[in-house]
Every structure is written in structure tokens, then in C-alpha cells.
Amino acid sequence: MDDIIDERDIEYARAIMAGTERMTDLADVNGDGKVDEEDIRLIEEIIRGTPPEISVIDSEGNAVTVKVPVERIVIYNHQCAEILQILGA
């Protein structure tokens, strides 16, 4: 998959549910161990920009759920700070 959450992600999630694609960690949006209609609903919320929270994989490989909009972050090293500055975040 790519770095953009869009309709293709909904199609991929439906294909996982149909058994024609393999499950990925990020396809299980709510982290309950399966890809289902709840994950599709959450993907749709993300596309619309209305999710109350999102789950991400942190630099240690852990799933972390954060409320949206994100108001504060902790930066571990200067490379991360530079990337955020380049992105205008």
C-alpha cells in the first residue's frame, strides 16, 4: 500500500474481508485483531477528516492511539524535528 489513506484502502479492507488479500497490521484500524465493517467505518472517518482518534505505529513498533487533533508531540531526536519543520508541522 501507499502512504495515502483513500478509497483504495477501503477496497483493500473489503478484499481482506473477502479473503482475496492478506491482512496487514495497518488494515486493522481499531486493533481488534480482525478487519471488518468497523475498520471500514474508521477508514471513512479518516478520509473525511473526522476521526475522534487514530492509531499509529510508533518508532518502537508499538500501536499507539491518540486523540485528534494532535496538540502536542515528543521528539526523540533532531532528525524528527527537522522532518516536522520541513513539513511545516
**pLDDT of 55:** 81
**pLDDT of 7:** 96
Per-residue pLDDT of the chain (89 residues; tens, 9 = 90+): 678 899 999 999 999 999 999 998 789 988 889 999 999 999 999 999 898 888 887 878 888 888 988 888 777 777 777 777 777 76
- Closest alpha carbon to 43 in 75, 84, 73, 1: 1
The torsion of the CA quartet 87, 6, 47, 9, rounded to 10 degrees, works out to -120
